[in-house]
Structure 1
């Protein structure tokens, strides 16, 4: 008798407020400044960790935020549970990256294959070109699509009389890929006159890149089994919850009170922890770069003509 029961208007209001708070948090974490801000030393010293974290985030996808907000409000109205509204909105935000197709993997594999193709083209151009810079410029004409923009900028920098080493370091910084770092390292050694058999080295690097693609494909196949298991768990849980809400609402009556909401929050926390662990298992760990942060400042890279 002493259990407080949430009415429909109150539950809808709480769910909408919770979802709106999640929206504001997402916008705050993903907001980027339009331009550089001149900060003094005192401001930098008092900058919070949240601000530093937000500065590393990409631009917010407002349509995705609106969809998550709509799902959270809809679940809140249907269940009259503010915790369910918050969990639904958060789940709609994070679950597609865990149980959906791994588009990042396909993009990374395509870039590695493109790097291998470009390396082979550069090796072939070395035999006909007058030098390494001419070979790089010629390779930009038919460079693979995933890295065409970066290769074109590299060729443009060389045509604008940038030092070869500086242009290559900027190229590696733009690609931000361990395989590209190996290729650029070989080219940097050649630029310093210690490349030796550069054509053979580039051929071996291209073969290594293609072997890495095959290895990543095998890893992706193993990860797909984890994604399938996660899809089955999520689908079965949502189907059971929907079935009980529609056909046997009385069975879920204990969740209408404050204690029930706390239990639901604990259950949602267990699911969140398990999916966070699963996401960590599926995370790409081949991200160590040997040329990280080596791009020279733009103002010092150009050489006057």
Structure 2
């Protein structure tokens, strides 16, 4: 048995171990919540981790399983790592754009709630009562946030503090504009608040229509990505099963480096494509306004 026969399975196992280690690092970074860190000492790695949501452990298991399967079939460590990473990243690029649908539904809900709040102002004793009434039939995508806003008001939070916490929970530029108008009204600058809310609701619905047009124009990019991935995987699977000898050069260390370079080119192309398809929201006007709830929640005497 020659040296190459021994080293290829060993290299495949080492590559698989490396991929599994990377997955564990990602899980460790994204699965913990140690509270806010000092902005002066916070590292770029901490900021990266804090911007990610909780890890789907089932998805991690699928990626590891894909890496193991590819390592067993090909005995190529680079292919195992690339396929494990691809199983994690590609669904967001070639799959349905669920994030876009969630954002659009949220903006539509904000517009609907704003219109309901405008209508409630005419029959309510004040802004706080109008907000509390609007929570009864608030739209589903923002129902939890509106309910918490009404609960805070019922627990004698100051209106400005409750609205700031509400804006921080929604974390949406459209919601920030609505909350900014409500904050001005709460500070005695109500003016024609009903008309302002109506205009903000109309602006939100126009934003939804714009997002829908943009999503329609991006469908061709997503279709192209699906075709490229499908053809590449089909060709690789066919050559692996039908003509293994054609891929023999990849069994060497040089072949693995070439495969790594090719995978890097594909990875950069898909990263750029994902960046082009990503929604770009306007900057929030009420960024980091929630404050400390223990200081903001003041009980009225």
Matched, 1:49 2:44: yes
Residue by residue over 1:241-284, the C-alpha shift from the partner in whole angstroms, topping out at 9 and shown as x without a partner, is: 01111111111111110000000000000011111111111111
**TM-score scaled by structure 2?**
0.93
Residue 81 in structure 1 maps to residue 76 in structure 2: yes
Determine the C-alpha separation between the residues in 1 that align with 2:49 and 2:191. Answer: 46
Task: From the superposition, tell whether residues 303 and 88 of structure 1 become closer, same or farther in structure 2 (CA, over 3 Å).
Answer: same
Judging changes above 3 Å, is the alpha-carbon distance between structure 1 residues 109 and 48 closer, same or farther for their aligned structure 2 residues? Answer: closer
Q: Which residue of 2 aligns with 1:27?
A: 27
2:17 equivalent in structure 1 = 17
Instruction: Report how far residue 162 of structure 1 moved.
Output: 1.2
In the alignment, which residue of structure 2 is the partner of 1:250?
Answer: 245
What's the counterpart of residue 162 of structure 1? 157
Per-residue deviation, 1:8? 6.1
* Secondary structure in structure 2 of the residue aligned to 1:204: helix
SS in 2 for 1:226: helix
SS in 1 for 2:250: helix
Change (3 A) 1:25 1:287: farther
What is the CA distance between 1:80 and its match in structure 2?
1.0
1:269 aligns with 2:269: no
Q: Are residues 221 and 254 of structure 1, via their aligned partners in 2, closer, same or farther at CA, if it must alter by over 3 Å?
A: same
Question: How far did residue 12 of structure 1 move?
Answer: 4.4
What is the root-mean-square deviation of aligned Cα atoms in Å?
A: 2.1
Q: Which residue of 1 aligns with 2:92?
A: 97
Return closer, same or farther for 1:72/1:65 CA change in 2, 3 Å cut-off: same
SS at match of 1:274: helix
Instruction: Provide Cα deviations, 1:160-204, integer angstroms capped at 9, x if missing partner.
Output: 111111111111111000110111111111112212111111111
Q: 2:135 corresponds to which residue? A: 140
Question: Corresponding residue for 1:212?
Answer: 207
**Distance in 2 of aligned mates of 1:6 and 1:60:** 36
Deviation at 1:3, TM superposition (A): 9.7
Who is 2:172 aligned against?
177
Q: CA deviation at 1:29?
A: 2.4
Q: 1:156 and 1:133 mapped to 2: Cα distance?
A: 11
Question: May I ask how many residue pairs the two structures share in their alignment?
Answer: 298
Post-superposition CA distance 1:34-76 (Å, at most 9, x none): x559x9x9xx84x653344334432221111111001001001
Which ranges of structure 2 fall in alignment gaps of 5 or more residues? none
Post-superposition offset of 1:22 = 2.6
Name the CA distance, whole Å, in 2 between partners of 1:296 and 1:7.
58
Q: TM-score normalized by structure 1?
A: 0.92
SS of the residue corresponding to residue 113 of structure 2 reads: helix
Distance, in Å, in 2 between the alignment partners of 1:188 and 1:288 is 19
Question: Is 5-14 or 68-77 further displaced after alignment?
Answer: 5-14
Q: Which 4+ runs in 1 deviate beyond 6 A?
A: none
